[in-house]
Structure 1
Amino acid sequence: MKRAFSLLALALVAVVATGAWYLHGKQPRRDGELPLAGLQGPVSVRYDARGVPHLDAGSEADLYRALGYVHAQDRLFQMEILRRLARGELAEVLGPALVDTDRLFRSLRLGEHADAYVGRTPHEGPAWAALEAYLDGVNQYQASRPAPLEFDLLGIPKRPFRAEDTFSVVGYTAYSFAAAFRTEPVLTYVRDRLGADYLAIFDLAWQPAGALAPSLADGDWRMLGALADLSGRAVADQGLPQFEGSNAWVIAGRRTASGKPLLAGDPHIRFSVPATWYEAHLRAPGFELYGHYQALNPFASLGFNRSFGWSLTMFQNDDIDLIAERVNPDNPEQVRYHGQWVDLERHETLIAVKGAPAVPLTLRRSPHGPLVNDALGATGDQRPIALWWTFLESPNPLLEAFYRLGRADTLDKARDAARLIHAPGLNVVWANAAGDIGWWAAARLPRRPAGVDPTFILDGDSPAADKDGFQPFEANPQEENPARGYIVSANAQPAGPQPIPGYYNLPDRGRRLAERLADPALKGDLDASRTLQLDSGSAYGPRLLAPLLQDLRAATADRPDEAALVQRLAAWDGDYRVDDPVPTLFTQFLYQLADGALRDELGDAFFDALLATRALDAALPRLAADPDSPWWDDRRSPARETRRDIVRGAWQASLAHLRATGGDDPASWTWGRAHTLTHGHPLGRQAPLDRLLNVGPFAMPGTHETPNNQSSPLGPAPWAVSYGPSTRRLIDFADPAHSLGINPVGQSGAPFDAHYADQAADYAAGRYRPQLLDEAEIAAEAPRQLRLVPAP
């Protein structure tokens, strides 16, 4: 028996040792010396306490080749999964459940567009040379080192990364900004099926000239509901980043404590493991940049050095039109365009599926663009819906734009770089140590016919679907060195003589930031900006509640305990603190109010789609303020309900749900218990990988449209935070070498690595860490270094 136990112990030790050896081989190398073909000289890579690499090279070519190598060793699986998502190749490694997602991205033609773009782009110039060097570094890492753990779990074969993959992922990034797939079908349904009175809460005109002729049939509406659902699930279900909003501001030196401009930024993106951004500090003769990089992109989307820096927010201009084509009744392969029947282009392809036969897919294109309802498979008698998208219709030299922006130390250079951003639309918020501040709404804005509102699905047999080119960049909203001494960008409709169509956020968040920045008592320093970034309050809740309090008091007049809860709502300041139960009560009531008022008219599919749009944020305060809105009547009952009836029902449903999920004592309904963040890995949706790969949960303050924009879909409690600040950055140009930042999870995407989740607790607690520039401080914090040397 002793011998048996000894053998068992030895076997267990062997298993543990083998597992440790296996996992050790998957970890990034952060010291020692490694050969890298193509280098002209050695490259020093020092990793600081956060795992951020600081690269020092003798040339830009060496710098970008080394960046590709170190980026890949931390994020190779992220690169792989994103290129597969963008090119519609996920089912090949994840199986039949991903066929619908692949159909969607094939129908968007991102891979085809990337292939064509690379084919017609001159393969010359410093930006292209940098991209090729970077991809060579990625591929050398992949060829020489063990595959990531996820490759082994899924059986992913190694294959080289190409420029076409980079541009496909750029296309995915542009798509992730688009709200049209969720918003336009819902609002068109309201207009065409419910009528003008129902559009009032969305602040939209009836616009009969834009109405579809003939109107969509029941099958078309079901198809559009399914398309809206798929467009949301295709990204959310994969645990991958999706761009949702952002804050950025810059304060001129005359209003800061240091006398130099101060830049703050926190782009709002869906949380994931690994996080969206990969931080790296690059140095070569004549060039230095501390940047935040996206997978397969060698040029920083966010960056700064001692002379200048920038942040980004979503412009949220509407650069997508959904267009309903009219089919020739005598030939289903033709649609009407400019008074003529024209043939649809057809392309047959196959979706490879792991463990199952390949799925055939027919992709079609009209003169307006690809038919996106091909993503749903067989369409039968459904009306074809074409996609017109600026991203597919403009040159869009996006990588060139960010290559130049990383070298733009003057306003003129920054403006010229922003001019090259066509789609997605981005607000570039910029500052330099010389004292300049600026903002450019960077996008190619299409010229649509007068009176056409692209919020609705357009009629392909009408001039409403035509475009007359694009507005010049000079006509875009922008500011440089404004007299007020600060600039705020927070996704709201930009001011200007003509409204720009878009899916903008409410002004509450930007207004709250602007009010604080305008305060002459504000001390413009890093501490004040940190307080602003972590602000968890909003005027939205109290504003929405104000017209409903009388109805709530009437609903609770004979129940003192409930009346006390209403009084707490009435006194609430709109701050979503983790220890306060009032935000939980309000958010549950908000959902029940929306459900009671809107679901019966919209049906489940369109109601669920509306919950995921910004249109709902604007609609609910208008609905609450209008006691005569037709939405209050419940079509499912013979009686005619009033606002008071729906408010009473929403209140009772809210209390019943919170008691069932949080207990009978309202003191236990705290926001931190109901509102939590778990960073999800793409493979962490099933046990036991969820425990191994996901990070969290963390109790989170804030909510949708607070400056600390920790957002979750509106629904019943509890709420899982889905997106929020993807990084927080604070740079004072009096001392840029001691700027502050934080990653929501960690630098590394390698499971079990020391930097896989080492910043997650700090992020949740609102703490920051230094972003280092000084060589002596970097060396002191990172005594070990990795040396990449020319291969013999």
Structure 2
Amino acid sequence: MKLFKKAVKVIFILLILLVAGAWVFSRTLHPTYNGELELTNISDKVTVYYDEVGVPHINAENQQDAYVALGYVHAQDRLWQMELIRRISAGRLAELFGKDLVRTDKFFSGLGIEEAAEKTIENLDKNSEAYKLTEAYLNGINQFITEGTTPLEFHLIGLEKEKYSIKDIYNVFGYMAFSFAVAHKTDPMLTEVKEKLGDAYFNELVGAEFQNLTLIKNEKNPELKADFAASMNVLLEKLPISPFIGSNSWVIGADKTKNGKVIFANDPHIGFSQPSVWYQNHIKTPDYEMYGFNLALTPFPLLGHNKNYAYGLTMFENDDVDFYYEKNNPNNSLEYKTSDGFQQYKLIDKRIKIKGEKDTVYQVKVSKHGPIMNGLIDFIDDERPIAMQWIYTKFNNQLLEVGYDISHAQNLSEFKVGASKLHAPGLNIMYGDAKNNIAWFASGKLYKYRDSLYTKTILDGASGKDEIVEYLDFEENPQAINPSLNYVYSANNQPDSIAGKLYPGYYLAENRARRIVDLLAPKNDWTKEEVATMLYDVVSPSAPDVIVSFTNSLDLENVSASEKKAIDILKKWNGYYGKDEVAPVIYNRFVYEFQKNTFKDEMGKAYNQFVNTPFVEKVLPVQAAKENSVWWDDVSTKDKVETKQEIISKSFKKTFEFLQNQLGENVEDWKWNRVASVEYEHAIGKAGGLLRKFFNVGPFKTNGGDQVINNQIFSIDSTGVYKITAGPSTRRVVDFSDVDNSLAILPTGQSGNVFSEHYKDQAQKYVDGEFVKMKINQKEIEQSENKLVFLPKIK
């Protein structure tokens, strides 16, 4: 008995020591927000004030010192995020996560991003301010790597820290550019429909592109100078860093605001993850000031404002990726046919390191159009070589200069010069300033093919007839400067015509654009608070239209009392996606059944790709409104030709049956908050269990649905559960009548360090539609409780 008691006592002491040791170790991993540290490569003291939500306000005597400090504090909060994002384009994720990421590594490393980065870096102007400040930023990151604490994630997976170079920054640019592209999801699917089903099916689908359009209007006016006062999815779902998806932005002119000054709003839509995508920071020197939102490992903010101007972005959705069928030489598979005869493929050898296993080596074939995707994407079963032509890798990359120029502009004209340098990814760059200028620029290198060519199918690489015939000057890009409407906006929707025709792209359905216009157009006394409320709007203007098409075709003779109640709820719905609403549950399941019963029988395997593209959202209202369509017939029932009424009635019956089984007999209990939720997943938290609870943030119930302004993006699938995977990566409102009190919010928090108090301190406020202040008033900033001072290191 004594021996047992003694053993229990020893175990108890050991447990106490273990817990104490873990606590002491964790304290060494906390970020440093107070005190003094020494840095090399700074010439004077730099003071960093951390505000209530952990945003660093960097005060320096010059920009060089400020950017060294920015690199250090950015790495302190987000080094793990930096590590992940730099590895994607380089094909280095399998080094961390093992063989499951080999396919993803193989795909990204074969796209040519690294090769394009090397060419760009060779030609960089090493004397430019953009380059010198970038090097200062990298120097700060690398000083943290050398002297700062090692993030917990590095310890957990046994990863040694590596210093960063400018090539890592360009790899981040490459991943950003790729994740904005949509063609890789849409073009192969449309090609399969055309080749296997024929023109009748194909033409009905693509015809939906040009219906139900809310167009962004082009209009260029002078700048105001007066100074007034004041299967791809299989690869991508494994990524530990989320892709860019959509966005809203609008800038309201002075004549439409209550206080007579411009109000700017922006909420870029990006896949949710933990940490959040954007890192907020505020730099102030005697000759420069910017409150910015930076991506991991990028020195210049893509979103920002100061007392003079504000800017942000949405996805342009232009077509900057094209696929080509190449024809191999029948006598030599290393050659392919062109209009000038056979040419040799360029061969690039690649190596992927795999954690715990031997390296894998493979070879990429590259034609004049780009890399051959067969082999890079395992599930391409077409024997014909398919090359991917991507504008990003075809032109000199000026993204570093773009970031510098738009964050250092002195006026609208200088800002436009920066916007014009962007070749890819295509972005709608939004602008508003204190002089009452508002502007929108659809930035990206645009080009033309022969008029009759439809570019959303795979093109002919051998004939020479499907090549680009002209690149457009930036002045021909869609844009608006101080338009007569007194507002500019973008919701990833179709811009108005260029030279008499609509520019091709993968523009999203009109839902959000239509709602934005419906709200903005009639009102001329907007306030900051009303704009903030509008960013949280959850009404779909098009969902009620689809419901009318559905219910007009329902067979109502054989419906039960409960089914009738469900139909009545749908008919009365105004499209509001509130947590306690029943109609969104019925509507989304109805849409799932409708799309499956309409398209899956003909499409087969291509159907899964079809319903995972934005294209399906444009097709839905058009198809629902059609009385006659080749798609209504269920080809699996050989002795019968189905009608629209039969397809819709069948879809409703299936919907009702499923929801009764899922949520119970009482229709009024089928509330949105029972099926929709959001959780912000950390790359390690995805493993589940205790790691999930420790690293992930959430889950939360939330207002919002797919394609409303507060866009909560999810897949509609067989489960009937809507896991929200993407949405506003930040919400921002800048009112030039009260710049000091501009508003923003992040989905989780400012820091990616799980031991920081700012890891998830904004999460509940974000879900509830609240905001925090973006401080730029110096007296207010200096009242911060946390102050970190960097001093020049004495050599």
TM-score normalised to structure 1 length: 0.94
Alpha-carbon separation, structure 2, partners of 1:115 and 1:556? 68
Alpha-carbon separation, structure 2, partners of 1:746 and 1:584? 30
Amino acid at match of 2:126: H
Alpha-carbon separation, structure 1, partners of 2:399 and 2:384? 34
- For residues 454-481 of structure 1, give each alpha carbon's deviation from its aligned partner in whole angstroms, at most 9, with x where no partner exists: 1111111133431234200000011111
The 5 A counterparts of 1:158-307 are 158-204=161-207, 229=231, 231-307=232-308
How far is the alpha carbon of 1:765 from its aligned partner? Answer: 0.6
Amino acid at match of 2:73: V
Corresponding residue for 2:756? 753
Alpha-carbon separation, structure 2, partners of 1:532 and 1:431? 18
Q: Secondary structure at the match of 1:630?
A: coil
How far is the alpha carbon of 1:205 from its aligned partner? Answer: 10
Corresponding residue for 1:310? 311
Amino acid at match of 1:181: H
- For residues 327-358 of structure 1, give each alpha carbon's deviation from its aligned partner in whole angstroms, at most 9, with x where no partner exists: 22222211111141111111222211111111
The 5 A counterparts of 1:649-728 are 649-688=650-689, 689-716=691-718, 717-728=720-731
- For residues 202-247 of structure 1, give each alpha carbon's deviation from its aligned partner in whole angstroms, at most 9, with x where no partner exists: 33499xxxxxxxxxxxxxxxxxxxxxx1x32333322422111111
How far is the alpha carbon of 1:644 from its aligned partner? Answer: 2.0
Alpha-carbon separation, structure 1, partners of 2:412 and 2:682? 40
Alpha-carbon separation, structure 1, partners of 2:764 and 2:712? 15
Alpha-carbon separation, structure 1, partners of 2:194 and 2:200? 9
Q: Secondary structure at the match of 2:587?
A: helix
Aligned with 1:114 (options 89, 113, 117): 117
Deviates more, 1:70-79 or 1:466-475: 466-475
**8 Å contact from structure 2 (residues 82, 297) kept in 1:** yes
Alpha-carbon separation, structure 1, partners of 2:505 and 2:263? 29
Amino acid at match of 1:474: E
Amino acid at match of 1:541: A
1:55 aligns with 2:58: yes
The 5 A counterparts of 1:137-536 are 137-204=140-207, 229=231, 231-376=232-377, 382-496=383-497, 497-520=500-523, 522-536=524-538
Q: Secondary structure at the match of 2:242?
A: coil
Deviates more, 1:52-61 or 1:624-633: 624-633
Structure 2 unaligned blocks of 5 or more:
210-230
Corresponding residue for 1:224? none
Following TM superposition, where does structure 1 have runs of at least 4 consecutive aligned residues deviating by more than 6 angstroms? 378-381
How far is the alpha carbon of 1:100 from its aligned partner? Answer: 0.2
Question: Judging changes above 3 Å, is the alpha-carbon distance between structure 1 residues 551 and 381 closer, same or farther for their aligned structure 2 residues?
Answer: closer
The 5 A counterparts of 1:521-600 are 522-552=524-554, 554-555=555-556, 557-600=558-601
- For residues 536-562 of structure 1, give each alpha carbon's deviation from its aligned partner in whole angstroms, at most 9, with x where no partner exists: 01122111121221332x156341210
**8 Å contact from structure 1 (residues 681, 693) kept in 2:** yes
**8 Å contact from structure 1 (residues 458, 464) kept in 2:** no
Question: Judging changes above 3 Å, is the alpha-carbon distance between structure 1 residues 5 and 779 closer, same or farther for their aligned structure 2 residues?
Answer: farther
Alpha-carbon separation, structure 2, partners of 1:551 and 1:363? 52
**8 Å contact from structure 1 (residues 292, 302) kept in 2:** yes
Question: Judging changes above 3 Å, is the alpha-carbon distance between structure 1 residues 201 and 620 closer, same or farther for their aligned structure 2 residues?
Answer: farther
Alpha-carbon separation, structure 1, partners of 2:557 and 2:651? 12
Alpha-carbon separation, structure 2, partners of 1:463 and 1:407? 43
Q: Secondary structure at the match of 1:191?
A: helix
How far is the alpha carbon of 1:379 from its aligned partner? Answer: 7.8
Alpha-carbon separation, structure 2, partners of 1:332 and 1:200? 35
Q: Secondary structure at the match of 1:772?
A: coil
Alpha-carbon separation, structure 2, partners of 1:23 and 1:696? 22
How far is the alpha carbon of 1:613 from its aligned partner? Answer: 0.9
**8 Å contact from structure 2 (residues 349, 363) kept in 1:** yes
Aligned residue pairs, count: 765
- For residues 258-316 of structure 1, give each alpha carbon's deviation from its aligned partner in whole angstroms, at most 9, with x where no partner exists: 21111000011110100110000001121000000001100000000001111101111
- For residues 605-661 of structure 1, give each alpha carbon's deviation from its aligned partner in whole angstroms, at most 9, with x where no partner exists: x21111121110111112111232111222222222222222222222222322232
Amino acid at match of 2:758: H
Q: Secondary structure at the match of 1:50?
A: coil
Alpha-carbon separation, structure 2, partners of 1:661 and 1:259? 52
Question: Judging changes above 3 Å, is the alpha-carbon distance between structure 1 residues 556 and 85 closer, same or farther for their aligned structure 2 residues?
Answer: farther
Corresponding residue for 1:221? none
1:630 aligns with 2:643: no
1:610 aligns with 2:613: no
How far is the alpha carbon of 1:320 from its aligned partner? Answer: 0.5
Alpha-carbon separation, structure 2, partners of 1:482 and 1:558? 52
Amino acid at match of 1:723: A
Question: Judging changes above 3 Å, is the alpha-carbon distance between structure 1 residues 469 and 161 closer, same or farther for their aligned structure 2 residues?
Answer: farther
Amino acid at match of 2:306: N
Amino acid at match of 2:52: A
Alpha-carbon separation, structure 1, partners of 2:235 and 2:303? 26
**8 Å contact from structure 1 (residues 557, 563) kept in 2:** no
- For residues 648-693 of structure 1, give each alpha carbon's deviation from its aligned partner in whole angstroms, at most 9, with x where no partner exists: 2222222232223222222222112211110011112222221211
Alpha-carbon separation, structure 2, partners of 1:651 and 1:440? 44
**8 Å contact from structure 1 (residues 201, 619) kept in 2:** no
Alpha-carbon separation, structure 1, partners of 2:631 and 2:44? 69
Q: Secondary structure at the match of 1:370?
A: coil
Corresponding residue for 2:73? 70
- For residues 42-65 of structure 1, give each alpha carbon's deviation from its aligned partner in whole angstroms, at most 9, with x where no partner exists: 110111110110000111110111
**8 Å contact from structure 1 (residues 452, 464) kept in 2:** no
Alpha-carbon separation, structure 1, partners of 2:121 and 2:610? 37
Q: Secondary structure at the match of 1:506?
A: coil
Amino acid at match of 2:134: L
Corresponding residue for 2:790? 788
Q: Secondary structure at the match of 1:527?
A: helix
Alpha-carbon separation, structure 2, partners of 1:154 and 1:464? 51
Corresponding residue for 1:14? 17
Between the aligned residues of both structures, percent identity stands at: 34
**8 Å contact from structure 2 (residues 29, 755) kept in 1:** no
Q: Secondary structure at the match of 2:76?
A: helix
Q: Secondary structure at the match of 2:624?
A: helix
How much is the aligned-residue C-alpha RMSD, in angstroms? 1.7
Alpha-carbon separation, structure 2, partners of 1:484 and 1:626? 34
**8 Å contact from structure 1 (residues 201, 620) kept in 2:** no
How far is the alpha carbon of 1:4 from its aligned partner? Answer: 4.1
Alpha-carbon separation, structure 2, partners of 1:555 and 1:403? 62
Question: Judging changes above 3 Å, is the alpha-carbon distance between structure 1 residues 235 and 5 closer, same or farther for their aligned structure 2 residues?
Answer: same
How far is the alpha carbon of 1:378 from its aligned partner? Answer: 10
Question: Judging changes above 3 Å, is the alpha-carbon distance between structure 1 residues 662 and 467 closer, same or farther for their aligned structure 2 residues?
Answer: same
Question: Judging changes above 3 Å, is the alpha-carbon distance between structure 1 residues 773 and 111 closer, same or farther for their aligned structure 2 residues?
Answer: same
Question: Judging changes above 3 Å, is the alpha-carbon distance between structure 1 residues 706 and 205 closer, same or farther for their aligned structure 2 residues?
Answer: closer
Alpha-carbon separation, structure 1, partners of 2:189 and 2:672? 31
Amino acid at match of 1:430: Y
Alpha-carbon separation, structure 2, partners of 1:446 and 1:626? 34
Alpha-carbon separation, structure 2, partners of 1:611 and 1:323? 23
